[in-house]
Amino acid sequence: MKTDSIFVGDIRVCTKYIEHKMFTTETYMSDICFGSESFGHIEIEDELYKEGAILVKTKNGGYVDLDNLNLQLQLYMTTMSKNEAFYLSSYPRKLIMMTSAYYQDSLFVDTQTLKPYKVIQPEAKKNVSVKKLRTFRR
C-alpha cells in the first residue's frame, strides 16, 4: 500500500442534523421528478468519536478506518464510485467515511486534524504493509 494514501486524523460522530428549508421547489412530469431545489441551512452538532485514527483514503475521496479495513474489500473500495461509497457508508458498519456529516449518527473525518502518514513517520518507505500500520498504532 502506498504511503500517500494513508492519513492520521480524528473521527467525529454527528449528534444533531436538522435541515431548515425556507423554500423548496420541485418539477414533476407524470409522477417523475425532474428537478428539485431547496434553500435554507443545516444545523449540525458533532462530538469526538475516535482520536488519532489511522485512515486509508480510497480512490474517490472517502476514508476507511484501519481498524474496520477488511482486506477482501480493499480492491473494491479503491475502485468504487462516489455514489457507491455513499451507499456503503450508510450501512451500520460505517465502512467508508466522508469529510462531512450527512445524517444523524453518521461518522465523518475531521479535515482539520488530518495529516499525512509520511509526516508522522518520516522513515516510512514508499510502500507499507497493513500489518506494520497496525503495530505502529499500538
DSSP string for 89-130: HTSTT--EEBSS--STT-EEE-TTS-EEHHHH-TT--SB--H
CA distance 114 to 117: 9
Domain count, the chain: 1
Instruction: List, for residues 102-116, the tens digit of each pLDDT value.
Output: 888 888 999 999 998
How would residue 35 be classed by pLDDT, with cut points 50, 70 and 90?
A: confident
Asked if 38 and 45 touch (Cβ cutoff 8 Å), the reply is: no
Q: In this prediction, what percent of the chain has a pLDDT beyond 70?
A: 65
pTM of the model: 0.68
CA distance 108 to 2: 23
Instruction: List, for residues 64-118, the tens digit of each pLDDT value.
Output: 888 776 654 555 555 565 556 555 554 434 677 889 888 888 889 999 999 988 7
Which residue range(s) make up the domain with 82?
Answer: 3-137
What's the pLDDT at 88? 55
